[in-house]
Amino acid sequence: MPGLSIVGTGRFLPGRPYTNSDLARVLDTNDEWIRQRTGIAQRHYCPRGQGPADLALPAAKAALESANLAPSDIDYILFNTMTPDHVFPGSGTVLGANLGCIGVPALDLRAQCAAMLYSFQLADSLILSGAAKRILIVGAEAHSAMMPWRDWDVLEGTSDRKPSAQDFERATKHRGWAVVFGDGAGAVIVERSDKPGAGIVGVDLHSDGTHVEELCLPAGFKMRGAAGEIGAEEWLIRMQGREVFKQAVVKLPRSVELVCEKSGVPASEVDWFIAHQANRRINDSVCERLGLDPARMPCNIDRYGNTSGATIPILMDEMWRDGRLRPGQLICLVALGAGFHWGSVLVRI
């Protein structure tokens, strides 16, 4: 039975990083709180006028180059994003056009931070069914469009004026989530492999829409007359951070236990646990509950913050390029995001 193998990866982080102290110019926060509560030291933001498809382009090109492939070698695009360029069409078709993959099927996945898990399951099925041979999986996010401040010049340090008291207060009201998210893109190319055991070894995926209100961006077509009435507040994330945190530290370790149980693979045989980076404390807690050495769950949240659907492919690219991730290894992707969508996927790469 065929499976899949990773043949190339890429990432792109736009512009210079913005530190926690940069953020303190536009809302009431400080470096100590952000580092202690989340592990984040800096993040990147998408330039004005660009979107996730723009960030995805250099990441996809880097992945093609690392795999020694041309755009014409790709026969399917899976695009993970919760901050698409447009409400419609999806960002996958925009990326396809910019990359020169015209006519190739492109599908956006709306599973937020857990989208990469769904993409791997889907890619494996597409390959198994014969529908595709070589798939470009991209995760890209431009959260900056929904940040609760207007004072980008102050944040960027190009102006030394102070934000108005009203703007500062509004941004501070949202500081719990606003300091967490960053922008970026990661890309992974997978292709059909006939090596015995290659590809998906086990899947434990879930969604539970009873948690929608705990983490969502309300803007959408549920609102009749939205075109005339939709306001700026609907474009701000609603996140009950503590509740999401509590759910994550229970659901994620349970999911890893389940996927290992179902697959008959002990956690000790997994080379890497590649986890979503929402909060350093969540991943530390997952390791503790599973009795795992945290060194087996790599962390890069300090440099990028939470990049939602882009997080796992960015981390995979870092690990592929520095040699930690190698063909033949068994990896476990683990994530929880809005929906909730959560779970874990074991893949022999």
The yes or no reply on residue 177 touching ligand UT7 (CB under 6 A) is yes
Pick the binder of ligand UT7 from 176, 202, 218, 294 (CB under 6 A): 176
Tokens of 5: 């193998």
**296 and 319 Cβ atoms separated by less than 8 Å:** no
How many C-alpha atoms does 128 have within 13 Å on its Cβ side? 12
**Nearest one of 189, 199, 132 to 10, comparing CA atoms:** 189
Options 20, 276, 279, 341, the catalytic residue: 276
Which stretch in 30-38, 122-130, 196-204, 316-324 sits in contact with ligand UT7 by CB under 6 A?
30-38
How would you classify the pairing of strands 272-275 and 134-141? unpaired
- 250/265 with CB nearer ligand UT7: 250
Minimum CB–partner distance for residue 103 and ligand UT7 (Å): 34
Q: Is 20 a catalytic residue?
A: no
Q: Which amino acid is at 13?
A: L
The yes or no reply on residue 37 touching ligand UT7 (CB under 6 A) is yes
Options 20, 80, 283, 306, the catalytic residue: 306
Site string for ligand UT7, 272-291 (x = CB under 6 A): ------xx--x---------
Show Cβ contacts of residue 265 under 8 Å, excluding neighbours closer than 6 positions: 201, 202, 330, 346
Pick the binder of ligand UT7 from 5, 9, 38, 283 (CB under 6 A): 38
Question: Three-state DSSP class for 72?
Answer: helix
Beta pairing partners, 346: 202, 332
To which H or E segment does residue 110 belong? none
Pick the binder of ligand UT7 from 337, 342, 343, 348 (CB under 6 A): 337
Q: What angle do CA 6, 311, 15 make, to 5 degrees?
A: 110
- 132/215 with CB nearer ligand UT7: 215
Show Cβ contacts of residue 245 under 8 Å, excluding neighbours closer than 6 positions: 279, 281, 282
The yes or no reply on residue 244 touching ligand UT7 (CB under 6 A) is yes
Q: How far apart are CA 183 and CA 239, in angstroms?
A: 18
- 118/177 with CB nearer ligand UT7: 177
Pick the binder of ligand UT7 from 283, 306, 307, 344 (CB under 6 A): 306
Q: Which residue has the tokens 């179902």?
A: 262
Site string for ligand UT7, 107-146 (x = CB under 6 A): ------x---------------------------------
Q: Is 283 a catalytic residue?
A: no
Q: Is 306 a catalytic residue?
A: yes
Residues in the chain: 349
Residues marked active site are found at 113, 276, 306
Binding site for ligand UT7 (CB under 6 A): 29, 33-34, 37-38, 113, 175-177, 179-180, 241-242, 244-245, 248, 278-279, 282, 306, 308, 337
